[in-house]
Amino acid sequence: MPAPAKTREVSTHCPYCALQCAMTLQITQAPEPGITVEGARFPTNRGRLCRKGSTAAELLGPRTDRLRAPLIKQTEDDGGHSFREASWEEALDHIAGRLSSIQTAHGRDAVGVFGSGSLTNEKTYALGKFARVALGTSQIDYNGRFCMSSAAKASTEVFGVDRGLPFPLTDLDAACTVLLLGSNVADTMPPFVQHLEGARSKGGLIVVDPRTSTTAQLTADGAGLHVAPTPGGDLVLLLALANVLFEEGCTDRDYLAQRVRGVEDFRRSAAAWWPERAQAATGVGADQIRFIARRLGSAAAEARDGGDPVFILTGRGVEQHRDGTDTARAALSLALILGLPGAHGGYGTLTGQGNGQGGREMGQKSDQLPGLRSITSPTDRAHIAGVWGVAPETIPGPGIPATQLLHTMGTRTEHGPAGVRALLVHGSNVAVSAPETSRVLKNLRALDLLVVADFFLSETAAEADVVLPVLQWAEEDGTMTSLEGRLLRRRRAVDPPSGCRSELWIFAELARRLGTPTGFPTDPAEVFEEIRRATAGAPADYSAMSWELLDAGHAGYWPHPATGDPSADTGRRGSPELTSTGEPIIGTPRMFAERFAHPDGRAVLRAIRPRAQAAPRAAELTLTTGRLMEHYQSGTQTRRVPTLDAAHPQVTVQVHPATARQYGLVEHGFAVVENAQGTLTAKVVLDAGIRADTIFSPFHFAGRGAANLLTRGLTDPDSKMPEFKNTPVRIRPATSLEAAA
């Protein structure tokens, strides 16, 4: 008889999006080793997994493409370059020596650090500390600048704090109306869709998207309404909705009088956008604008009388613009004049990256310290300095945001360096994900030193002088913070390849070599204890969330400040709220029930006036970019999973049939999309659900298929978010040589 299988199970969370679906890893040691994934009961996913999550285990185990030893670039006799394997001792000595010499010659800020919203909270925290203490540089930012910066800026200004969803995701289940702008959740986080079923059953799902996305299709058969504005038209649309609500007396006047400042300023700015004027700017009919406004107004009124709640949700589609912060402000303002946040529903923004929320709280942003503390606040600097064991004046000030950091690095002027001369990259593939990738690649190659930590040889790692092999999601312990502000335990399930190391260990070893006067713990639990001290009293307060509580499966929502009462800190005083799986909820699952986070407890509105947008010229179309169900971010992981890659193996461009006829394109043929920034060659997909003046391409692919070859370095003046969603381009059929390249 065959020997019985020896299997153990580990409860953890998905390595992909911020929904952070719960899953169980089943690790079989005998008779044949293997790893399988199953969805687990959890409030956000309820046992479901998407295609990415269900295939996540394929990235684990023995793989020929996995990095297993440090790599150092060497010059060949013919002038080319190749990598050779090196010991960790040699690689770290080399890095520390080069960093020291560069900073000695050019100053502390000659070294930059680029992080990620996919790192655990512990690694994110340690990365920010390493940059500011061990390197002493202000030049640190991360790829969340490309994702969440506009919504974060708007939420901070309006509510006083940035938490993506200031309520549990399960609150959406009871909604009668959900206005969803710029997010294709049915593809990007499919288990999310079950939380929209309540609104769909009541005909109240309203999706705003210039194309009939998979999510927009959910509004069919009486489930709701799909609205397709011109790309960049969302801000005016939101102001027009507010205009109708004010004009028709559908606002919550009592709520506004008691809880909001600046209402009159916002009302006057919305007054400029009556529906007929907005129709010309957005392509959305005036009657449709009035219909949506009245639906929202009547639903909010019913909610105030004890009816079902109303929610307004935004995603990157309305935020990745030069006016992305204003658009997010307008959505927040619309929610407030309806009286929703903290009372009869709410506003939320759908964080994308796995630790997109925690990643922007732990101090890797150019202007931020852990806990959402401000790097320019003397009080915040003093608190963090005490935790780090350094003098406050030694902590550098604000750095420059990600796009500027990448677009100036390696460049020189007659007066000296214009940007950093060395860059350390952790958890990001900027050679694919950054705007104007040709410019970014050129600048990467001009650096004096590029160090990339990754588990595969990504397109950015291929440009590096030193590549450091690090641990994957199931090979290390840590915590993540989901799109709800819920703190979760990620658990080690398998042993990593022998040559790979944790970034916590790397930071400690480099800090020691650089003569750093403060310690860098390598145990994630120890780092988490330091996070608790660092965030105590901050807007994102983790101080009462212990490693033991999280390890026991309790749901912890920040802010959760320590009170000195152990029963309060564990959430067990009285009759605590329970999750759907029965564990106590600790912390603050729902924010703003009584007050907002500004000192006077009120939300803050102000006038919003759209800036003029440059319209596409004759023969130009508008390119908008986004995600596919099968792929994640730059594709470094998902393009290595055979079933996902086979489902969508190459870049495509989605074109309306009428547009294809106009430009001589044929389905499944190839098109060249081009502008002053670059050229993209993509396979044509015809879709009558996209606007005829708009084309769509996913951003997961590299080389000639990188959509960000075309996107410009234009940024929002407030958030410094790049404008990914509104790029003027030309399109034509590819020649046979171009198609074959």
Confidence of residue 3 (pLDDT cuts 50, 70, 90): low
- Residue 240 Ramachandran class (φ > 0 left, ψ -120 to 50 alpha, else beta): alpha
Whose tokens are 């913070």? That residue is 481
Per-residue pLDDT at 574: 39
In this predicted structure, the answer to whether residue 330 has a pLDDT above a threshold of 70 is: yes
Q: State how far Cα 542 lies from the chain centre.
A: 21
Q: Is the peptide bond before 469 cis (omega within 30 degrees of 0)?
A: no
- In DSSP notation, 97-162 reads HHHHHHHHHH-GGGEEEEE-TTS-HHHHHHHHHIIIIII--S-EEEGGGGTTHHHHHHHHHHTSS-
CA distance 322 to 721: 7
Inter-CA distances, 520 with 336, 446, 481, 512, 654, Å: 43, 31, 22, 9, 48
Per-residue pLDDT at 571: 35
Instruction: Read off the tokens for 712.
Output: 């410009």
Whose tokens are 């992305």? That residue is 324
Higher pLDDT, 638 or 578: 638
| Residue pair 422/110 in contact by the 8 Å Cβ criterion | yes
The CATH H-level superfamily of 165-349 is Dimethylsulfoxide Reductase, domain 2 (3.40.228.10)
Per-residue pLDDT at 80: 82
Per-residue pLDDT at 4: 56
In this predicted structure, the answer to whether residue 612 has a pLDDT above a threshold of 90 is: no
Helix (H, G, I), strand (E, B) or coil at 582: coil
User: Could you tell me which CATH number the domain at 71-147+362-587 has?
Assistant: 3.40.50.740
Q: CB atoms < 10 A from the CB of 285, how many? A: 14
In this predicted structure, the answer to whether residue 38 has a pLDDT above a threshold of 50 is: yes
Q: In what order do the strands lie in the sheet containing 555-557? A: 478-481, 486-490, 555-557, 585-587
CA-based nearest residue to 715, from 18, 141, 110: 141
- Residue 206 Ramachandran class (φ > 0 left, ψ -120 to 50 alpha, else beta): beta
H or E stretch at 201 = helix 197-201
Higher pLDDT, 585 or 113: 113
706, amino acid identity: A
Confidence of residue 581 (pLDDT cuts 50, 70, 90): low
- Specify the DSSP class assigned to residue 419: S
Average pLDDT of the residues in 277-298:
97
Per-residue pLDDT at 528: 97
CA-based nearest residue to 730, from 687, 703, 693: 693
Instruction: Read off the tokens for 515.
Output: 């003569």
Instruction: Read off the tokens for 599.
Output: 């000192």
- In DSSP notation, 643-686 reads HHHHHS-S-EEEE-HHHHHHHT--TTSEEEEE-SS-EEEEEEEE
- Specify the DSSP class assigned to residue 71: E
CA distance 607 to 85: 58
| Residue pair 203/196 in contact by the 8 Å Cβ criterion | no
Least confident of 147-161, 257-271, 412-426: 412-426
Per-residue pLDDT at 471: 97
Confidence of residue 740 (pLDDT cuts 50, 70, 90): confident
CA-based nearest residue to 154, from 334, 371, 32: 334
Least confident of 76-90, 95-109, 121-135: 76-90
Average pLDDT of the residues in 481-503:
95
| Residue pair 479/486 in contact by the 8 Å Cβ criterion | no
Average pLDDT of the residues in 548-557:
86
| Residue pair 182/209 in contact by the 8 Å Cβ criterion | yes
Per-residue pLDDT at 565: 44
Per-residue pLDDT at 572: 32
Average pLDDT of the residues in 456-466:
97
H or E stretch at 85 = strand 81-85
Per-residue pLDDT at 306: 95
The CATH class that applies to domain 621-740 reads mainly beta
Burial 74-98 (b: 16+ CB within 10 A, else e): eeeeeeeeebeebebeebbebbbeb
Burial 693-718 (b: 16+ CB within 10 A, else e): bbbbbbbbbbeebbbbbbbbbbbbeb
Percent above pLDDT 70 for the chain:
96
- In DSSP notation, 682-719 reads EEEEE-TTB-TTEEEEES---GGG-GGGT----B-TTT
Average pLDDT of the residues in 659-666:
96
CA distance 628 to 188: 7
In this predicted structure, the answer to whether residue 420 has a pLDDT above a threshold of 50 is: yes
| H-only helix segments in 251-323 | 253-259, 263-270, 275-282, 286-304, 316-319
187's CB contacts (< 8 A; 6+ apart) are: 213, 214, 215, 627, 628, 629
Confidence of residue 61 (pLDDT cuts 50, 70, 90): confident
| Residue pair 699/433 in contact by the 8 Å Cβ criterion | yes
Q: In what order do the strands lie in the sheet containing 177-181? A: 224-227, 205-208, 177-181, 310-314, 345-349
Instruction: Give the HSE-up count for residue 403: Cα atoms under 13 Å, Cβ half-sphere.
Output: 22
107's CB contacts (< 8 A; 6+ apart) are: none
CA distance 331 to 297: 14
Where in the chain are the domains? Answer: 71-147+362-587, 165-349, 621-740
Q: State how far Cα 262 lies from the chain centre.
A: 30
Q: State how far Cα 297 lies from the chain centre.
A: 31
Per-residue pLDDT at 569: 38
Whose tokens are 């009293």? That residue is 537
In this predicted structure, the answer to whether residue 64 has a pLDDT above a threshold of 90 is: no
In this predicted structure, the answer to whether residue 256 has a pLDDT above a threshold of 70 is: yes
In this predicted structure, the answer to whether residue 77 has a pLDDT above a threshold of 90 is: no
* 210-249 tens-digit pLDDT: 999 999 999 999 999 999 999 889 999 999 999 999 999 9
Average pLDDT of the residues in 708-731:
93
What angle do the packed helices 121-129 and 503-513 form, to 10 degrees? 10
In this predicted structure, the answer to whether residue 575 has a pLDDT above a threshold of 60 is: no
In this predicted structure, the answer to whether residue 577 has a pLDDT above a threshold of 80 is: no
Percent above pLDDT 90 for the chain:
84
- Residue 45 Ramachandran class (φ > 0 left, ψ -120 to 50 alpha, else beta): alpha
How would you write 441-493 as a 3-class SS string? HHHHHHCCEEEEEECECCCCHHHCCEEEEECCHHHCCEEEECCCCEEEEECCC
Q: Do domains 165-349 and 621-740 have the same CATH topology?
A: no
Q: State how far Cα 115 lies from the chain centre.
A: 12
Instruction: Read off the tokens for 437.
Output: 């990738």
* 136-157 tens-digit pLDDT: 999 999 999 998 899 999 999 9
- Specify the DSSP class assigned to residue 56: G
- Specify the DSSP class assigned to residue 365: S
> For all residues of the chain together, what is the average pLDDT?
93
Per-residue pLDDT at 418: 81
φ and ψ of 728, to 5 deg: -70, 130
φ and ψ of 166, to 5 deg: -85, 30
φ and ψ of 666, to 5 deg: -125, 145
Burial 358-383 (b: 16+ CB within 10 A, else e): bbbbbbbbbebbbbbbbbeeeebbeb
Q: In what order do the strands lie in the sheet containing 6-13? A: 6-13, 22-30, 34-39
* 342-400 tens-digit pLDDT: 999 999 999 889 899 999 999 999 999 999 999 999 999 999 999 999 999 999 999 99
Q: Is the peptide bond before 275 cis (omega within 30 degrees of 0)?
A: no
What is the biggest distance separating any 2 CA atoms in the chain, rounded to whole angstroms?
81
Confidence of residue 586 (pLDDT cuts 50, 70, 90): confident
| Residue pair 406/443 in contact by the 8 Å Cβ criterion | yes
* 433-459 tens-digit pLDDT: 999 999 999 999 999 999 999 999 999
In this predicted structure, the answer to whether residue 96 has a pLDDT above a threshold of 50 is: yes
| Residue pair 731/695 in contact by the 8 Å Cβ criterion | yes
